[in-house]
Chain A
Amino acid sequence: MKKFIPLIILIVLCLFPVVIQNAYYQHLMILVFIWVAIGSGWNVIAGFTGQVSFGDAAFFGTGAYTAGLLAHHFHISAWWGMAFGGFAAMAVAFPFGWICFRLRGPYFALASLALNEVCRHIATIAEPLTQGMVGILIMPTFLSKIPYYYIALALAVLSVVFVQFVMKSKWGYYFLSIREDQDAAESMGIDTHKYKMVSLNIAAFLTGMAGALFMNYMGFIDPEVVFSLHDISIMAILVGIIGGVGTIYGPAVGALVMVAVHEFFRTGFFGLFKGLAAMTGSDAMISVAKTISHAHVLGFGILVVLVILYLPNGIVGDWDKLVGKIIPFKKKEAAS
């Protein structure tokens, strides 16, 4: 039975836009799929290989700009960015990893944070190329959300399947060995520098593809959006942590939860506070309704604290524990 769950979920997702024709929900699902790809990439380097990246936006933005600039400067379809965006992100990841993986400890994490900021500044300053803060606007290919939905779904599924495939191969064993103990890994004949590079480039490729899709779908990007530290890099970490670091399906679950939480705050608890403000007419409520949408970072923080306290292995990693907590009798059954 458990074996069929991914298949059932896939069928449900394929039918989703047919059943739910509301564009808003389709939009949210497209975002979820984009985050599944980003989260899967982050999980490869951070979750499985143990090299925590704080700069995923560098790869995401590079992918997005690759798509945008191809369309803007060369007037070719931004969909080419899906092919080139991943490789462009690898072109950023390669020299970066080459240098930073020579150092151990927190240097990679710190350097990735810096890489994020460097990329954002370059995209802002290089106006002749990127139009700086003006951003890049392209004509969307489709008016309906449905084509984007299926393309995003394909990207998400391919990301998860690809990561699963990699983790069952020699590379997967090497990534885990590096995460668990670098000295032991080296003494087992694993070229830790090389395989950290492989891992980072897989992450960059998936994240770059997600960025290119984002450009195609949203039709507009600027440096603040696609190289955003908290909306992309930190969000990627949250997707990873909440879903379950180092699990195959963790990023998928994390993406769903995080997009929901993000939306929950952005809309002021789905309009709850706006409604309350209108109903009560109280000044306090009105100001809460106005500011609550900016409080999503606070909400993320609280969520992370709760997850780390109660589900340190994320929703997928601690699934049995979670089920046991929600349905206590099931736990007793298992114990007896």
Chain B
Amino acid sequence: MILFELKNLVKHFGGLAAVQNVSFQVEKGEIFGLIGPNGSGKTTIFNCISNYFPVTSGSIHFNGQDITGLKTNKICKAGIGRTFQVVKPLGRLSVLDNVIAAAFSKAKNKKEAHDIAMETLEFCGLMHRKDIIAKSLPIGERKRLEITRSMATRPELLLLDETAAGLTPTEVDVAIDLIKKIRDSGVTIIIVEHIMKVIMTISDRIHAINFGQTIAHGTPKEVSNHKAVIEAYLGEEYAHS
């Protein structure tokens, strides 16, 4: 079953075409990798999906409905959670309060919000930090807080933007486990990641872009052997050799 679909997405910033005609479909229950070199438009695609800014043209479909132009908070309410590449903790609130605030999106009352928050903190392995002020968390845990918070909104689809960047190798392994655990709990995931180890081991399918255009899509193996992808990442010389 197709849960999510991007149709001919175009986004221009003035004269800059950041995303040019990108289309893809995401199956329910899969981990869908979105890769591309720096500045290729990955975050912009996420921002278009959550309507952080309006799309230039194209449409976005979720659960069979056209959600293009829906307000950001409505996108979340519809069931699409997201994390930010540049983390956005609610700095002066405790970790628990960060998560409670998010949990209210599905909870009927404060008690329910609190319960959802505690459950999500446990699930994401941040329980031991619940009373800490969010801005005093180290970067690895801030990234985890991003995930925890978006999970507390009980999404069907989760957009993860470089949640493993800047982590130590051990932390990366923990992050991979968490992402798999989230998928196993029934949440579909679109993940943007530069660390090849992460993206190649956990993605079911991968979509590669460069300069805002699709250059390849398929299984991790197909994409990593694709000439255009190697060119984009390593330069033309490597592709020819």
Chain A residues within 8 Å of B, Cβ to Cβ: 168-170, 173-174, 176-177, 180-181, 183-192
- Which positions 176-229 of chain B face chain A at CB distance < 8 Å? none
Q: Which residues of B contact A185 (CB under 8 A)?
A: 73, 90, 101
Query: Which A residue sits closest to B50, measured CB to CB?
Result: A187
Q: In the bound complex, do residue A174 and residue B73 qualify as a contact, i.e. CB atoms below 8 Å apart?
A: no
Q: In the bound complex, do residue B101 and residue A183 qualify as a contact, i.e. CB atoms below 8 Å apart?
A: no
B157 contacts partner chain A, Cβ-Cβ < 8 Å: no
- A189 CA to B74 CA in the complex, in Å? 6
A-B contact pairs, 7 of them (CB 8 A): A176-B93, A180-B92, A181-B88, A187-B73, A189-B73, A189-B105, A190-B73
Q: In the bound complex, do residue A187 and residue B77 qualify as a contact, i.e. CB atoms below 8 Å apart?
A: no
Q: Which residues of A contact B82 (CB under 8 A)?
A: 187
10 closest pairs, A vs B, by CB?
A: A189-B105, A180-B90, A189-B76, A184-B88, A186-B72, A188-B102, A173-B101, A177-B101, A181-B88, A191-B73
How many chain B residues touch A (CB < 8 A): the figure is 30
Query: Which A residue sits closest to B99, measured CB to CB?
Result: A188
Write the B91-114 contact mask toward A (1 if CB under 8 angstroms, else 0): 111000100111011100110010
- Report the minimal beta-carbon distance from B37 to chain A, rounded to whole angstroms: 25
- A187 CA to B90 CA in the complex, in Å? 12
- A239 CA to B50 CA in the complex, in Å? 39
- Which positions 60-102 of chain B face chain A at CB distance < 8 Å? 71-73, 76-77, 81-82, 84, 88-93, 97, 100-102
Chain B residues within 8 Å of A, Cβ to Cβ: 50, 52, 71-73, 76-77, 81-82, 84, 88-93, 97, 100-102, 104-106, 109-110, 113, 149-150, 152-153
Contact partner of A190 (CB less than 8 A), chosen from B105, B106, B113, is B105
Given A189-B153, A190-B73, A177-B84 contact (CB < 8 Å): no
When A and B form their complex, what is the total count of cross-chain residue pairs whose Cβ atoms lie within 8 Å? 79
Query: Which A residue sits closest to B79, measured CB to CB?
Result: A189
Q: In the bound complex, do residue B72 and residue A187 qualify as a contact, i.e. CB atoms below 8 Å apart?
A: yes
Given A169-B110, A186-B72, A174-B90 contact (CB < 8 Å): no
Query: Which A residue sits closest to B86, measured CB to CB?
Result: A183
Given A183-B88, A186-B73, A173-B50 contact (CB < 8 Å): no
Q: In the bound complex, do residue B101 and residue A188 qualify as a contact, i.e. CB atoms below 8 Å apart?
A: yes
Instruction: Beyond the given A185-B73, A185-B101, A191-B71, please list 7 additional residue pairs across the A-B interface where CB-CB is below 8 A.
Output: A170-B109, A180-B91, A180-B93, A183-B84, A185-B90, A186-B71, A187-B50
Given A174-B104, A177-B101, A184-B73 contact (CB < 8 Å): no
Q: Which residues of B contact A184 (CB under 8 A)?
A: 84, 88-90, 149
- A180 CA to B149 CA in the complex, in Å? 14
- A183 CA to B88 CA in the complex, in Å? 8
Q: Which residues of A contact B149 (CB under 8 A)?
A: 184, 188
Contact partner of B102 (CB less than 8 A), chosen from A168, A183, A189, A192, is A189
Q: In the bound complex, do residue B90 and residue A170 qualify as a contact, i.e. CB atoms below 8 Å apart?
A: no
- A181 CA to B90 CA in the complex, in Å? 6
- A187 CA to B101 CA in the complex, in Å? 11
Residue among A177, A184, A187, A190 with the highest chain B CB neighbour number at 10 A: A187
Q: In the bound complex, do residue B77 and residue A189 qualify as a contact, i.e. CB atoms below 8 Å apart?
A: yes
Q: Which residues of A contact B153 (CB under 8 A)?
A: 188-189
- A189 CA to B78 CA in the complex, in Å? 9
- A193 CA to B150 CA in the complex, in Å? 20
Q: Which residues of A contact B105 (CB under 8 A)?
A: 188-190
- Report the minimal beta-carbon distance from A187 to chain B, rounded to whole angstroms: 5
- A178 CA to B50 CA in the complex, in Å? 17
- A61 CA to B196 CA in the complex, in Å? 63
- A173 CA to B116 CA in the complex, in Å? 15
- Report the minimal beta-carbon distance from B230 to chain A, rounded to whole angstroms: 34
- A170 CA to B102 CA in the complex, in Å? 10
